[in-house]
């Protein structure tokens, strides 16, 4: 039976069968490339660093005691006028520096970032991954959505990131955060979409109108204004904040569909219109709809007869699942046009017509 099975460096030989060549069954090709690397390769060149400077005025007026400043040498050291007596310190200025991220979305040199990144800035410098540093001008910013548009100086050419569709996102999808946390350029982290339509008010942010994308992708200081990408490398959100303390590790991004709409308004008119009807809302327990917690006196809802305790179940013919859904309908409907609301009150169904007004109008009252 010798020769039926032999061991050799070339492999096993079976009696009656020809030898098998080592090259006839090649090993599968091994690649180190991943969808994350491909996504960042497509969009990374358009992710920028934003360095800002702002001048802060320190008010004067503090009174300096005569003692020990009656010593001429001390008065000279502290820049005080000669002589004794009480001296009033003059106002002074100091320069504060900040840093954030942004993403170029238009070939003309327009980029999206957070409003809080460029707020009050007297100078904006933008650093591109290719090493260029150019000055930027704030086209407009909107505190309510924490979004701003900056235009780069010079003719370019500028790399551009593709904007995706945040309405198509699903919980559990892969997402990638790109930005410059702590000044570390082109830092990439990834995770999943943890939740959608997370109301900013539920996070204790009461001065914003945002329905946020929640993610477990690491977002840190300096990531603000950078993009959140989907697996195809499209921008589906603008990173805005991270939860610190209890619940740390939760990151949030502004959906790109909202960012796109805000950017268009900022470029066109330098400001953003926010429609409001003048109600405070809360979820309905064990049901759908938006329950009216309170009504602003003399506001559109009050004039239309809406009362605290009403449950708004439909707006403009669309079912309202929760307060976030109603806010979206009102925002998209706009200012100055009647909006039909369907209410439930004491077991009855009512219809009212409200005309949304600009948020700033209500806030001045």
**Active-site hit among 51, 101, 116, 333:** 116
C-alpha closest to that of 47 among 210, 233, 175:
233
How would you label 66-97 residue by residue, b for 16+ Cβ within 10 Å and e otherwise? eeebeeeeebeeeeeeeeeeebeeeeeeeeee
Cα 124 to Cα 51, 66, 223, 263, 279: the distances in Å are 6, 43, 17, 18, 38
Whether residue 116 lies in the annotated active site: yes
**Active-site hit among 121, 141, 194, 224:** 224
Beta-carbon contacts of 197 under 8 Å, excluding residues fewer than 6 positions away, are 211, 212, 324
Residues composing the chain: 365
**Active-site hit among 101, 141, 142, 146:** 146
Task: Give the CA radius of gyration of the chain.
Answer: 30
Whether residue 232 lies in the annotated active site: no
Whether residue 106 lies in the annotated active site: no
| Active site members | 116, 146, 224
């Amino acid at each position: 039976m010798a020769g039926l099975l032999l061991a050799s460096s070339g492999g096993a030989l079976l009696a009656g069968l020809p030898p098998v060549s080592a090259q006839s069954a090649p090993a599968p090709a091994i690649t180190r490339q991943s969808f994350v690397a491909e996504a960042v390769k497509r969009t990374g060149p358009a992710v920028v660093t934003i360095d800002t400077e702002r001048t802060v005025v320190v008010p004067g007026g503090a009174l300096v005691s005569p003692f020990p400043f009656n010593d001429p040498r001390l008065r000279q050291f502290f820049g005080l006028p000669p002589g004794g007596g009480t001296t009033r310190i003059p106002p002074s200025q100091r320069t504060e520096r900040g840093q954030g991220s942004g993403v170029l979305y238009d070939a003309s040199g327009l980029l999206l970032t957070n409003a809080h990144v460029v707020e009050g800035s007297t100078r904006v410098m933008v650093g591109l991954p290719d090493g260029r540093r150019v000055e930027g001008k704030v086209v407009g910013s909107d505190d309510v959505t924490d979004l701003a548009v900056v235009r780069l100086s010079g003719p370019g050419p500028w790399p551009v990131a593709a904007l995706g569709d945040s309405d198509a996102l699903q919980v559990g999808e892969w997402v990638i955060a790109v930005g410059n946390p702590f000044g570390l350029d082109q830092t990439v982290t990834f995770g999943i979409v943890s939740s959608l339509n997370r109301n900013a008010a539920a996070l204790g942010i009461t001065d914003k109108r945002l329905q946020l994308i929640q993610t477990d992708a690491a977002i840190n200081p300096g990531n603000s204004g950078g993009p959140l990408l989907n697996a195809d490398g499209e921008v589906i959100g603008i990173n805005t904040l991270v939860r610190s303390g209890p619940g740390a590790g939760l990151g949030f991004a502004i959906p790109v569909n909202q960012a796109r709409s805000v950017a268009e308004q900022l470029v066109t008119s330098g400001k953003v219109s926010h429609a409001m009807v003048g109600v405070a809302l809360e979820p309905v327990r064990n049901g759908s709809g938006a329950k009216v917690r309170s009504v602003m006196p003399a506001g559109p809802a009050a004039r239309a007869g809406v009362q605290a305790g009403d449950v708004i179940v439909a707006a403009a013919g669309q079912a309202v699942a929760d307060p976030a859904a109603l806010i979206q309908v009102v925002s998209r409907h706009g200012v100055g046009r009647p909006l039909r609301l369907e209410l439930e009150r004491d077991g009855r169904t009512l219809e009212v017509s409200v005309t949304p007004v600009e948020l700033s109008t209500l806030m001045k009252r």
